[in-house]
């Protein structure tokens, strides 16, 4: 049965709904911007000015704005502060004063202050925005919440925004967050998870203000606009090195509370300089205007970064720092901080474009100048026959060839892009970049300014103004995504952990630093150029510091002990191994070296690979002390670690490398495959009397060594040379040299590192020979030498 009345009513309702929707689409659009922490330093110095610039850019383009300054400060006090800030706002220099005054008055009318403290305050704010939008006949397009507050407040604020202050259907939400985003990988993951429970990824904008610096923001466009010239140059064949630098003359006075928690690496290198690194190193997307493509390529650059090791860094601390900390944080007179205020880091990227190219990141406080830059120095294969006085100025191929993204300050005094004239003439957008005027007598990076094509912004713009504009226009590539943030912490956290107890080099500050902080690199190793004089006894009137002691020689379990800070200890052990190798080759024509796996010897392997070019690798046989029962290509394989950190960097004949046969007949450590017997036979055939020239061991926190574990009888005595054992930790099955075979060695070196080993080191120093309980206690060569190499953390705690 037909119901014409019902159909007419339904059609009428649909028409009304459609008409209402169309009318809503025609309504003027409003964006509400809520600045939390509106009375704080960052807001007063930069954010209100950035919001005003956004208003100047967008006024008359179809959007209405409301600016809500909020804080915990009382309403009356907050209104006073905001009134002063709004009065101090400035317009671009080329804007007429009358027009500026008019727009400034409008902005002041659209800005308000309110206290935002309780959940009820958020509900009231949302209702007031909705009421104002309805009253003025507008349509709400979206809300921007800018959190200029400490990170500990993020989660509570996020909860309140999500529960009661989101805009209605059809409107977007953008939440802006300021660093620091965690202290290490774990804390960053925890914060990201908590924020992710309230906001979608596309709603979050993590600010790294360096990405708003005009020159930094120009790196990708510059690479894109000069593809033709750079395609053949931007790679390992032509780039000698890349320097990314931020130097400051100011010290940390007044900020030591923050600095003690973060230090220079977390404050500057993990974020600002790493972000710049990815912009230089990433593969260039086909479309650099696509935020998604840019962010994906940045993530790929993060993933190609080679892991940092302890020797990838040099650290410094200006001499007055500990005194400032004692005063500001009420520390006792005996307190000495280990927080670095200066750091140089050597980074390598493991991909075809950048393999072997050193990227040097450096930042510090109390240095000789304030300047920030990225310098790409190109290799120069030219040889000029005529003397330098006959070279054509700026054109000679023998002059340095470099591109400098001059971020700011320094002798030039303003941001600029510089390209050596003997390289190519760059293309930059003429509407926003202009040629730098000549400055006779000014030299930059070894060349007069006239030797560069030099360009600076037509109008200098503050970083926060640019970023606030990008937030409004949804330019996500100018911000740090969760994925890229965690990738950065994955890269930096292991280094930070390894440096936690490192004593920085002290420097006086300013021009007096001289060459004290100069550093150099060899392979993957970074070190200060100027050694400090060794000091056996602290000077008068000074409390002894860890740096006052260099290498300590003593006895441990009746055998020689060498103890030092990790870097010196590894260097000493590497030197001793090389000396043993040279002696063995001179005497027997070959050197049999058995190496343990795990994390402790990684730094040793890298030291041997990069700092010992006289090592007789061609005559060296490499054996494994133990192996996990996993395929040799598995990341947990000891052989894989040896391959990664040593074998691929040195020239050992492949037939001199002897991995343990844990993987036979497509099975792992099966008794019937007789892998242990096969390895024992190989040792007996090649190693005279089964006596290795040197065996490197470690010591576990339970007293195990090699893969010989407490309460496990296998391998502790008897005739077997190689045994299968069971580990309490995964992977449980292991293959190991036996204790009797280890004790046949001419020399056994036991490497013990890290504060986690302090307790077992103390315990083992007091026990007798009881290998069933403490396998390490059974190590005592029959006729060879046992030497303990123990860092100060393990030996002294």
What is the DSSP track for 427-471? Answer: ---TTTEEEPPP-TT-EETTEEGGGEEEEEESS---HHHHHHHHH
Which CATH code, of 3.40.50.720, 3.40.605.10, 3.30.930.10, 3.40.50.1360, is assigned to 555-796?
A: 3.40.50.1360
Asked whether the predicted pLDDT for residue 6 surpasses 90, the reply is no
Tokens of 653: 């004949």
Fold type of domain 29-178 = Rossmann fold (3.40.50)
pLDDT digits (tens, 9 = 90+) for 734-771: 999 999 999 999 999 999 999 899 999 999 998 889 99
Residue with tokens 């500026």: 100
Q: Do 162 and 241 contact (CB within 8 A), yes or no?
A: no
pLDDT digits (tens, 9 = 90+) for 60-107: 888 899 999 999 989 999 999 999 999 999 998 888 999 999 999 999
Nearest Cα neighbor of 34 from 123, 156, 125 is: 125
pLDDT digits (tens, 9 = 90+) for 722-732: 999 999 888 88
Q: What is the C-alpha to C-alpha distance for residues 532 and 516, in angstroms, rounded to an integer?
A: 9
Question: For position 164, what pLDDT does the model report?
Answer: 94
E strand spans, 616-755: 620-624, 626-628, 657-658, 663-664, 667-668, 694-698, 722-726, 733-737, 747-752
Query: Residue 174, SS3?
Result: strand
Non-local CB neighbours of 468 within 8 Å, separated by 6+ positions: 47, 50, 51, 53, 54, 146
What integer is the mean pLDDT of 608-625? 91
Same fold, 29-178 and 555-796: yes
Asked whether the predicted pLDDT for residue 394 surpasses 80, the reply is no
Neighbour-count burial of 459, counting CB atoms closer than 10 A to its CB (0-12 exposed, 13-18 middle, 19+ buried): exposed
Question: For position 11, what pLDDT does the model report?
Answer: 53
Q: Per the CATH hierarchy, to which homologous superfamily does domain 211-380+397-499 belong?
A: Dihydrodipicolinate Reductase; domain 2 (3.30.360.10)
Q: What is the C-alpha to C-alpha distance for residues 280 and 433, in angstroms, rounded to an integer?
A: 20
53, 64, 272, 645: which one is catalytic? 272
Q: Do 731 and 638 contact (CB within 8 A), yes or no?
A: no
Asked whether the predicted pLDDT for residue 535 surpasses 70, the reply is no
Q: What is the C-alpha to C-alpha distance for residues 69 and 107, in angstroms, rounded to an integer?
A: 13
What integer is the mean pLDDT of 415-424? 95
Sort strands 139-147 and 559-564 into parallel, antiparallel or unpaired: unpaired
Nearest Cα neighbor of 67 from 51, 84, 80 is: 51
Query: Residue 727, SS3?
Result: coil
Question: For position 58, what pLDDT does the model report?
Answer: 92
Neighbour-count burial of 299, counting CB atoms closer than 10 A to its CB (0-12 exposed, 13-18 middle, 19+ buried): middle
Nearest Cα neighbor of 251 from 150, 182, 314, 325 is: 325
Question: For position 22, what pLDDT does the model report?
Answer: 40
Query: Which residues on adjacent β-strands are paired with residue 71?
Result: 115
Tokens of 554: 């003593």
Query: 511-515, 611-615, 634-638: which range is least confident on average?
Result: 611-615
Give the up-direction half-sphere exposure of residue 498: CA atoms within 13 A in the CB hemisphere: 21
- Give all strands of the β-sheet with 402-409 in edge-to-edge order: 433-435, 452-457, 416-420, 402-409, 371-378, 239-247, 359-364, 342-347, 313-318, 505-507
Question: For position 530, what pLDDT does the model report?
Answer: 83
Instruction: Please report, for the chain, the start and end positions of each structural domain, with discontinuous segments joined by +.
Output: 29-178, 211-380+397-499, 555-796
Give the residue, 390 or 725, on which the prediction is more confident.
725
Question: Is 64 considered catalytic here?
Answer: no
Q: Do 587 and 594 contact (CB within 8 A), yes or no?
A: no
Count of beta carbons in the 10 Å neighbourhood of residue 626 = 28
Tokens of 452: 């560069």
- Give all strands of the β-sheet with 626-628 in edge-to-edge order: 626-628, 733-737, 722-726
Tell how far CA 101 is from the center of its chain: 45
pLDDT band at 665; cut points 50, 70, 90: confident
Q: What is the C-alpha to C-alpha distance for residues 187 and 151, in angstroms, rounded to an integer?
A: 11
> How far is the CA of 84 from the CAs of 34, 44, 72, 89, 491, in angstroms?
18, 9, 18, 9, 43
Asked whether the predicted pLDDT for residue 463 surpasses 80, the reply is yes
């Amino acid at each position: 049965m037909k119901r014409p009345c019902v159909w007419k009513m339904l059609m009428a309702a649909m028409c009304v709904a459609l008409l209402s929707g169309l009318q809503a689409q025609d309504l003027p659009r409003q964006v509400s911007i809520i600045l939390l922490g509106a009375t704080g330093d960052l807001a007063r110095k930069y954010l209100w000015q950035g919001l005003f610039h956004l208003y100047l850019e967008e006024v008359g383009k179809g959007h209405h704005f409301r600016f809500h300054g909020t804080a915990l400060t009382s309403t009356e006090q907050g209104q006073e502060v905001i009134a002063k800030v709004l009065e101090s706002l400035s317009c671009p220099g080329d804007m007429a004063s009358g027009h500026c005054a008019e727009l400034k008055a409008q902005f002041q009318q659209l800005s308000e202050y309110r206290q935002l403290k309780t959940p009820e305050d958020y509900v009231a704010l949302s209702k007031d925005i909705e009421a104002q939008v309805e009253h003025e006949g507008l349509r709400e397009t979206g809300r921007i919440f800018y959190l200029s507050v400490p990170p500990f407040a993020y989660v509570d604020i996020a909860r309140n925004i999500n529960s009661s202050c989101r805009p209605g259907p059809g409107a977007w939400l953008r939440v802006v967050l300021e660093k620091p985003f965690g202290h290490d990988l774990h804390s960053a993951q925890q914060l990201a998870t908590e924020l992710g429970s309230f906001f979608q990824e596309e709603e979050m904008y993590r600010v790294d203000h360096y990405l708003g610096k005009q020159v930094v923001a120009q790196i990708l466009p510059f690479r894109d606009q000069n593809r033709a010239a750079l395609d053949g140059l931007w790679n390992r064949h032509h780039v000698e090195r890349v320097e990314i630098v931020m130097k400051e003359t100011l010290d940390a006075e007044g900020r030591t509370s923050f600095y003690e928690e973060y230090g220079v690496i977390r404050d500057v290198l993990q974020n600002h300089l790493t972000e710049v690194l990815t912009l230089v190193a990433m593969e260039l997307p086909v479309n650099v205007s696509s935020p998604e493509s840019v962010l994906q390529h940045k993530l790929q650059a993060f993933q190609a970064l080679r892991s940092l090791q302890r020797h990838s860094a040099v650290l410094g601390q200006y001499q007055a720092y500990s005194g400032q900390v004692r005063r500001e944080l009420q520390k006792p007179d005996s307190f000495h901080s280990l927080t670095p205020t200066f750091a140089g880091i050597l980074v390598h990227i493991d991909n075809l474009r950048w393999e072997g190219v050193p990227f040097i990141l450096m930042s510090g406080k109390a240095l000789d100048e304030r300047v920030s830059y990225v310098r790409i120095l190109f290799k120069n294969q030219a040889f000029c026959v005529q003397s330098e006085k006959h070279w054509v100025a700026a054109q000679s191929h023998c002059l340095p060839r470099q591109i400098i993204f001059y971020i700011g300050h320094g002798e030039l005094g303003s941001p600029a892009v510089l390209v050596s004239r003997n390289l190519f003439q760059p293309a930059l957008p003429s509407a926003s970049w202009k040629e730098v005027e000549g400055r006779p007598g000014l030299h930059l990076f070894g060349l007069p300014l006239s030797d560069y094509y030099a360009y600076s912004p037509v109008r200098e713009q503050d970083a926060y103004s640019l970023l606030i504009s990008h937030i409004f226009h949804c330019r996500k590539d100018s911000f740090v995504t969760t994925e890229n943030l965690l990738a950065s912490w994955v890269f930096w956290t292991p280094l930070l952990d390894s440096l936690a107890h490192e004593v920085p080099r002290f420097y006086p500050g300013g021009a007096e630093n001289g060459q004290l902080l100069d550093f150099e690199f060899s392979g993957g190793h970074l070190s200060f150029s100027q050694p400090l004089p060794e000091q056996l006894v602290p000077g008068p009137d000074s409390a002894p510091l860890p740096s006052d002691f260099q290498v300590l020689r003593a006895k441990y379990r009746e055998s020689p002990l060498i103890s030092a800070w990790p870097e010196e200890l590894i260097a000493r052990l590497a030197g001793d191994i090389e000396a043993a190798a040279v002696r063995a080759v001179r005497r027997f024509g070959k050197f049999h070296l058995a190496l343990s796996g795990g994390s402790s010897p990684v730094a040793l392997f890298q030291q041997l690979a990069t700092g010992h070019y006289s090592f007789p690798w061609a005559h060296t046989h490499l054996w494994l002390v133990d192996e996990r029962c996993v395929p040799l290509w598995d990341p947990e394989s000891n052989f894989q670690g040896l391959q990664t950190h040593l074998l691929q960097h040195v020239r050992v004949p492949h037939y001199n490398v002897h991995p343990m046969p844990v993987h036979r007949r497509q099975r792992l450590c099966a008794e019937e495959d007789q892998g242990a017997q096969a390895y024992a036979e190989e040792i007996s055939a090649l190693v005279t009397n089964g006596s290795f020239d040197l065996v490197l061991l470690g010591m576990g926190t339970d007293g195990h060594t090699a893969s010989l574990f407490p309460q496990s009888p296998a391998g502790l005595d008897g005739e077997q040379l190689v045994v299968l054992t069971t580990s309490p930790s995964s992977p449980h099955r292991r293959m190991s040299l036996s204790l009797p075979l280890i004790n046949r060695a001419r020399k056994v070196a036991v490497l013990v590192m890290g504060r986690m080993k302090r307790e077992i080191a103390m315990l083992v120093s007091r026990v007798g020979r009881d290998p069933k309980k403490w396998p390490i206690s059974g190590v005592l060569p029959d006729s060879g030498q046992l030497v303990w190499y123990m860092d100060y953390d393990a030996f002294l705690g």
